[in-house]
Structure 1
């Protein structure tokens, strides 16, 4: 089965890459070379902050620091109500549930996480169109390597709502490897350490015989610079016995203090009407448990790839939080070598996405084949809530795997498949992506029916499941679009309203 086919569209279409980040977002284009597109004030970074006010939407700096603005929405993308912790979003806006969706209460009107993400994409699109003087319609968007199927589908829905066609969703660490030109090297094994505002990803990438392949990933979708900020606030609050609660304005001040501590050994100044003295050493001791967690995830990725530390040729740093000196030190101590940091860690992912968009749009034969992996195991539920693994994590994609099952009794005329994602051994410890029901199984003795279950993942990481009863040639299939976000019908309705 041919899983994907890259065709060569018009050369006039700009090669656009988007880094849709937790804290900041960027848009880049590649012509002769890749570059990040700035706004009229020469700002390349768009804060991922959205404010709904007076029937209008403000995205970016104009929304920063206001009490009713929405920040770090990426932490909610693709999540259901039961997945959310209060620390996942710093805002006074309350959310409620509708079929397990997160809905933000904006002035009494429910707004989905997908719609908020779409506003950020629209702002980036408008910026690019203004600078390039042409329509932007096709893009490569980056996502955390550990984004599950629900989060990836929600990202695609947001792009559709912003009237953008997604050429490919690629993992953020993979994009970073492309930006560094690791795909142009003859061979080697590289590790990408991606510590952003809200997520942490590790990817191990190999280059051999013209193929650049991600062979292992690990990560945490709730670990990043935002957590450093919360820890710093707690540290200062306890040290000076403050009673203030975290809000948007305090968060801005905390971020400024943290950024200062990346270049200065201590910070002295006025914070919440009190003179504060905090040292880099105090801060680094406070965040050390999180840094140790990143080391454990690196060890896990190395174990999955069956590699030793000394086999890694280079370490690439991605994300603004990697500017923290303690981050660089813990990586240097672990690998006994300095990481690569020549490219701005805020821009590297967007640049890599633009590089990949250029390859897809132009069908460059000289470009290396890029193979990504599925970050989490895909399974089905068997009798007794047992999990049967179909596609293990870190399997290269695109991929198609078929397994054969049978009937448990002569009276069985149907089969309902619960499709799961996760590393747990039981159904309760995995996430259900959806169900597929196969009807019309013939009444034949137990064990004689042949039911083939096929899992197909395309190059974008989108999963299709096909069930087929071979004796009667009955089949059903489903492309998974989990309900954490907006349905296709809702997206189309919103597009119609906006036009």
Structure 2
């Protein structure tokens, strides 16, 4: 098989990797950096900037610059620029295409295949969107793999014996906790939980709010109402957060951040680590509930975990490490690079698929329960969360009205008993049901989840053998022909 790359598509930064002589290697981008900012900027002359150059000009081009697009994957996101409507998939695809080009330049060969990572707690719609972005970038996405699982693979390739591992993955936009067992070349995921709306961006936002309020108190100007000033503040707040992981106190100085009728205004503020940790305390508390859930689902107590791995740049924050160590009752391990291990794990999975790595096996799980809606807003589970994938299961249902000829199947993902409280993945209708009194027909609904965690559903009337089947596609997912058209557009746009 041709070369397969591993892509850690991150909220803040993305990383690419490959297998070289049986070992994972991180590939530098064209600037020689291993981290490529997940940023896309559209210039008025039609050029598209990606990565560091896009992020660097965000202050002066904030309305045409897209950061943290990963947080919009699977959502109804649209940005209209210069007469073109861009979806989150299209913007993400531009980042992935640049990663593909950087890999080809480094390797000196064409790259056609990839393994791409996603947060473990991503929904089916979000996974589909990432896979679509990969296709739009010109890549054949062989596998979608969960980020904590990729990190465990990166650790497991060097591990001997048997260990229970907790992987805490706190990136720029998402948080996952996975419990895994590594034993004699088998990496088995036991349970996972998480929060798709918790990450480094939220730590930045807390700091931005604090600084903006201080500035408003001193100058009676709200910086959050000024797009350019806010972008300047966002960049310096991110830098301050990173610096506070090393220094106990930092100063932020932004001259000419804004102006009023009295003249230009300068921002100067000093923040110490103690203040920062008080500000982010509510975010630190949000780390614990998913960790408790994952351990409970795995049937384990914190003291039974042998090793705690940290993944994602936000785990470098000392307060994050302290919160995790306090909950787990043991020090965190620093045996893997928190920023690169997800990408190297993706490369290891690529190596397994290509047959280059033969002594490692991965057993992953589905992160959320899948089922259908029934009468009275009830949610009936068919595949429970933390079931090993690929998998398939079914349940038999019946009609609710006499002589009912059509049955609507509403597919949901979540943990609530109430259908309306869960994530709707899609609907389809099974027609041609045998006319009979209600409760008599037998409708078998089968759910299947592939190795990428993507769902297919089939329904069949067991009396007439009429059937209907779909692979779940959220309402806003493009068709195959639309994907082809958008992919050609991106290829022309980026070259």
1:364 Cα deviation from its structure 2 partner: 4.3
Question: Could you tell me how far apart the structure 2 residues matched to 1:209 and 1:259 are?
Answer: 37
Q: Look up the SS of the partner of 2:223 in the other structure.
A: coil
Question: Could you tell me how far apart the structure 2 residues matched to 1:250 and 1:450 are?
Answer: 61
1:237 Cα deviation from its structure 2 partner: 2.7
| Aligned equivalent of 1:249, options 223, 232, 252 | 232
Find the counterpart in structure 2 of residue 38 from structure 1.
28
1:303 Cα deviation from its structure 2 partner: 1.3
Q: Look up the SS of the partner of 2:447 in the other structure.
A: strand
Q: Look up the SS of the partner of 1:247 in the other structure.
A: helix
Question: Could you tell me how far apart the structure 2 residues matched to 1:376 and 1:261 are?
Answer: 36
Count of aligned residue pairs for this structure pair = 466
1:209 Cα deviation from its structure 2 partner: 6.4
Q: Show CA shifts across 1:76-104 (max 9, x none).
A: 1102xxxxxxxxxxxxxxxxxxxxx3111
Counterpart contact for 2:204–2:238, Cα < 8 Å? yes
| Aligned equivalent of 1:22, options 7, 11, 29 | 11
1:458 Cα deviation from its structure 2 partner: 0.6
Question: Could you tell me how far apart the structure 2 residues matched to 1:269 and 1:452 are?
Answer: 62
Q: Show CA shifts across 1:435-473 (max 9, x none).
A: 121111112343332211100001111111111111222
Q: Does 1:135 align with 2:110?
A: yes
Counterpart contact for 1:114–1:485, Cα < 8 Å? no
Going from structure 1 to structure 2, the CA distance change for 1:298 and 1:107 (only over 3 Å counts) comes to same
Q: Show CA shifts across 1:168-222 (max 9, x none).
A: 1000000000111268433221100001011111111123465322111111111
Q: Show CA shifts across 1:295-327 (max 9, x none).
A: 122111111212101011101110111111111
Q: Does 1:198 align with 2:173?
A: yes
Q: Show CA shifts across 1:136-173 (max 9, x none).
A: 11110000011101100011111111110111100000
Counterpart contact for 2:4–2:112, Cα < 8 Å? no
Q: Normalising to structure 1: TM-score of the pair?
A: 0.90
Question: Could you tell me how far apart the structure 2 residues matched to 1:365 and 1:47 are?
Answer: 33
Going from structure 1 to structure 2, the CA distance change for 1:182 and 1:367 (only over 3 Å counts) comes to closer
Find the counterpart in structure 2 of residue 320 from structure 1.
313
Q: Look up the SS of the partner of 1:180 in the other structure.
A: helix
Question: Could you tell me how far apart the structure 2 residues matched to 1:304 and 1:440 are?
Answer: 41
Question: Could you tell me how far apart the structure 2 residues matched to 1:244 and 1:494 are?
Answer: 37
| Aligned equivalent of 2:66, options 64, 70, 89 | 70
Question: Could you tell me how far apart the structure 2 residues matched to 1:475 and 1:400 are?
Answer: 17
Write out aligned runs for 1:396-435 (5 A): 396-435=388-427
1:39 Cα deviation from its structure 2 partner: 2.4
Find the counterpart in structure 2 of residue 109 from structure 1.
84
Find the counterpart in structure 2 of residue 91 from structure 1.
none
Question: Could you tell me how far apart the structure 2 residues matched to 1:269 and 1:440 are?
Answer: 68
Write out aligned runs for 1:18-417 (5 A): 18-32=7-21, 33-53=23-43, 54-64=45-55, 65-66=57-58, 67=62, 68-79=64-75, 101-181=76-156, 184-208=159-183, 211-240=186-215, 241=217, 243-245=222-224, 247-271=230-254, 272=257, 273-362=266-355, 364-368=357-361, 370-417=362-409
1:389 Cα deviation from its structure 2 partner: 1.1
1:71 Cα deviation from its structure 2 partner: 0.3
Going from structure 1 to structure 2, the CA distance change for 1:149 and 1:237 (only over 3 Å counts) comes to same
Counterpart contact for 2:150–2:344, Cα < 8 Å? yes
Question: Could you tell me how far apart the structure 2 residues matched to 1:62 and 1:47 are?
Answer: 9
Question: Could you tell me how far apart the structure 2 residues matched to 1:267 and 1:70 are?
Answer: 28
Question: Could you tell me how far apart the structure 2 residues matched to 1:16 and 1:29 are?
Answer: 5
Counterpart contact for 1:190–1:204, Cα < 8 Å? yes
Which segments of 5 or more consecutive residues in structure 2 lack a partner in the other structure? 258-265
Find the counterpart in structure 1 of residue 444 from structure 2.
452
Write out aligned runs for 1:2-21 (5 A): 10=1, 13-21=2-10
Decide which moves more: 171-180 or 38-47: 38-47
Which segments of 5 or more consecutive residues in structure 1 lack a partner in the other structure? 1-9, 80-100
Question: Could you tell me how far apart the structure 1 residues matched to 2:320 and 2:159 are?
Answer: 27
Q: Look up the SS of the partner of 1:284 in the other structure.
A: helix
Counterpart contact for 1:170–1:460, Cα < 8 Å? yes
Question: Could you tell me how far apart the structure 1 residues matched to 2:237 and 2:357 are?
Answer: 46
Going from structure 1 to structure 2, the CA distance change for 1:40 and 1:445 (only over 3 Å counts) comes to closer
Counterpart contact for 2:186–2:360, Cα < 8 Å? no
Q: Normalising to structure 2: TM-score of the pair?
A: 0.90
Q: Look up the SS of the partner of 1:372 in the other structure.
A: strand
Counterpart contact for 2:90–2:486, Cα < 8 Å? no
Question: Could you tell me how far apart the structure 1 residues matched to 2:446 and 2:158 are?
Answer: 32
Question: Could you tell me how far apart the structure 2 residues matched to 1:183 and 1:367 are?
Answer: 10
| Aligned equivalent of 2:486, options 470, 484, 494 | 494
